[in-house]
């Protein structure tokens, strides 16, 4: 590439970046190359040096590491620690990396030996409770979603290069859903976590008439009490709401509190 790289007149370096995966479907990495219209512009900003999905060359000389997936094995812990040592900036890419993702659903059984027996039978397999990257190493930046949204990654990379503060929306998905003039899915009888889920996806799922599953985690000051009331008013069971809240792991703290409250209510009801 000839000439000095710049953005809006600001001189830019072209950082070396690497992409890695732990326990995941690798869908977030595929998203990076899934939008060909802006791919050349994106690649003009960064220099990929390690990206198994799309290139054979490999180098451990990188500045920014994007890591997809949850930590579920000891060898992944070792791999992640080495990535952390090499990277100036480590980015958790997608819901699995940020919260544990769908893989963390097995954690609620609280018995990994039983889980391994049920899933793998007598075949020996090394698997542990699914954990986000931050449970093992320092994470500098999180990019939410299942999968991530390419436009958001592009915005964040540009902000990184120009030294701009990285921000995530504080408002819930409902704000974007209303701006997109969608029919409220509650009025169609569909459960939706849009009122409490962090925005930034442009109401991706509700745009397709599918209720939000909370893959981006809780919005700032998420009002869970009001969420419970909304669900009940539309005839949606508490268990259905909890199933959605548990799906990606971002609402783990809320779910634990709600299940504790539910248990205490049952105990109190039985004692009366």
Q: What is the pLDDT of residues 148-203, one digit of tens each?
A: 999 999 999 989 888 889 999 999 999 999 999 999 999 999 999 999 999 999 99
**8 Å CB contact between 189 and 234:** yes
Encode pLDDT of 65-76 as tens digits: 999 999 999 999
Nearest to 193 by CA among 231, 142, 235: 231
**Nearest Cα to 145, choosing from 251, 25, 248?**
248
Question: What is the arithmetic mean of pLDDT over 205-209?
Answer: 96
Mean pLDDT of the chain, nearest integer:
91
Give the global pTM: 0.90
Choose which CATH entry (2.40.37.10, 3.30.1540.10, 3.20.20.60, 3.40.50.700) describes domain 6-162. 3.40.50.700
Q: Rounded to whole angstroms, how far apart are CA atoms 267 and 246?
A: 23
Distance separating alpha carbons of residues 173 and 209, to the nearest angstrom: 14
List the chain domain ranges. 6-162, 173-265
Q: What are the beta bridge partners of residue 131?
A: 71
pLDDT number for residue 6: 67
Structure confidence by residue, pLDDT tens digits, 26-39: 999 999 888 788 88
């Amino acid at each position: 590439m000839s000439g000095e790289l710049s953005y809006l007149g600001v001189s830019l370096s072209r950082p070396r970046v690497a992409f890695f995966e732990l326990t995941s479907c690798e869908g977030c990495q595929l998203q990076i190359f899934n939008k060909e219209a802006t791919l050349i512009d994106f690649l003009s900003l960064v220099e990929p040096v390690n990206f198994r999905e799309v290139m054979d060359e490999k180098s451990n000389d990188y500045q920014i590491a994007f890591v997809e997936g949850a930590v579920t094995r000891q060898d992944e812990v070792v791999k992640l620690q080495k990535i952390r040592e090499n990277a100036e900036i480590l980015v958790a890419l997608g819901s699995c990396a940020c919260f544990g993702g769908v893989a963390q659903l097995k954690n609620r059984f609280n018995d990994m030996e039983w889980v391994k027996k049920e899933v793998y039978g007598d075949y020996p397999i090394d698997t542990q409770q699914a954990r986000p990257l931050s449970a093992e190493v320092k994470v500098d930046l999180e990019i939410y979603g299942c999968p991530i949204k390419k436009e958001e990654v592009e915005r964040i990379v540009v902000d990184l290069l120009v030294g701009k503060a990285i921000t995530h929306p504080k408002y819930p998905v409902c704000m974007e859903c209303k701006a997109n003039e969608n029919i409220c899915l509650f009025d169609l009888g569909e459960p939706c976590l849009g009122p409490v889920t962090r925005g930034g996806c442009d109401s991706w799922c509700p745009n397709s008439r599918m209720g939000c599953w909370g893959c981006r985690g809780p919005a700032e000051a998420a009002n869970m009490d009001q969420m419970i009331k909304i669900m009940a008013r539309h005839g949606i069971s508490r268990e259905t709401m909890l199933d959605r809240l548990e799906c990606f792991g971002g609402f783990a703290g809320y779910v634990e509190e709600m299940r504790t409250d539910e248990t205490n209510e049952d105990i109190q009801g039985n004692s009366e």
